[in-house]
A and B are shown apart, each in its own frame.
Chain A
Amino acid sequence: MAGEAEAHGEGAGLAFHPLDQFKVTPLFGDGPIEWYTITNVTLWMALAVLAIILVFAVGSKGRAVVPTRIQSVGEMAYGFVYKMVEDVAGHDGAKFFPLIMTLFVFILFANMLGLLPGSFTPTSHIAVTAVLGFGFFIFVTVLGFAKNGVHFLGLFWMSDAPLILRPIIAVIEVISYFVRPVSHSIRLAGNIMAGHAVMKVFAAFAPLVLISTIGVVVTPVSILAITAIYALEVLVAFIQAYVFTILACVYLKDALHPGH
């Protein structure tokens, strides 16, 4: 069997393991992790919330007609998400704008803060994104039944399909409905985790110049690659927050108007 040391890269020449950055460690001391333990996940989620408050509450406090820079960032984000909710979920979906906005800014700020060197990305953990994804799924399902009653099941019963196909389509629709929260949360966590792991893999090649002559070639290439991938990751951090939010809007629309 491959030993633990080899699985963690020491045998393969890597000084650190690319996935070590996702380790959850307690912030104070190193006792066992209970549900109430303050860990690095807690810290970086709290920092994300703090940054959101700084931009949206403190930065926009002046409510100037001609906005300051931070205020116009807040206004742009507000307008962007509001338009998205109204376009996708319809006019009566705008009632749920605060929820969608909260999801968007939390994921965006957690992703962006996670890109700081040496920081930790809460959204790279399926445990964190699953709470967001499944929480939203349960909310949307309850909302659908509360608002439409039995008619919500019309989401699964395609009335414009041939009658003979409808039960088969209904089974497929039910399965795809219940896979939604899984793919919703894994998409975000997987994207962020994959991007950060790729950066760390290239970072492991960067100090090769210290131990081998081939490093003269490998080190500049890997440093350039890290720079390029970092730029890509900034884009991905935004796009994944956008994708998570717009899918939330789509699911909200299905709950509000279940007819196809």
Chain B
Amino acid sequence: MEIAAAAALGKFIGAGLAAIGSGAAAIGVGNVAGNFLAGALRNPSAAGSQTATLFIGLAFAEALGIFSFLVALLLMFAV
């Protein structure tokens, strides 16, 4: 195949593969929220004081999904 055509095809395939990362981040975010809920239902009185920790955990898990979204965008529009 011609190199330029392969490169044009490859960046779309790469962007699609990077989207898998978003799904993986979704699993991570679900893990954080699910475990928080499981803990909160066992000890509801302690749950209120831990919401800040919950959001920090969610943010760290989500950031990596956002990175893969960024990689997809860079492949589509910047490469």
Contacts and interface: CB of A to CB of B under 8 A. Distances in A.
B46 interface: no
A84 interface: yes
B62 A187 contact: yes
A187 B66 contact: yes
Interface residues of A, number: 20
Contact of B66 (A7, A88, A186, A246): A186
B69 interface: yes
B59 to A, nearest CB: 4
A75 interface: no
A239 B5 CA distance: 42
A39 B49 CA distance: 43
Interface in A212-260: 239, 242-243, 246-247, 250
A49 B73 CA distance: 30
A177 to B, nearest CB: 14
Contact of B55 (A1, A2, A194, A243): A243
Contacts of B70: 186, 190
A183 B8 contact: no
A242 B55 contact: yes
Contact of A19 (B52, B56, B67, B77): B77
Interface of B: 4-5, 8, 52, 55-56, 58-59, 62-63, 66-67, 69-70, 73, 77
Given A1-B8, A187-B59, 11 more contacts: A1-B4, A1-B5, A84-B52, A183-B63, A186-B67, A190-B70, A191-B62, A243-B56, A243-B58, A246-B55, A247-B56
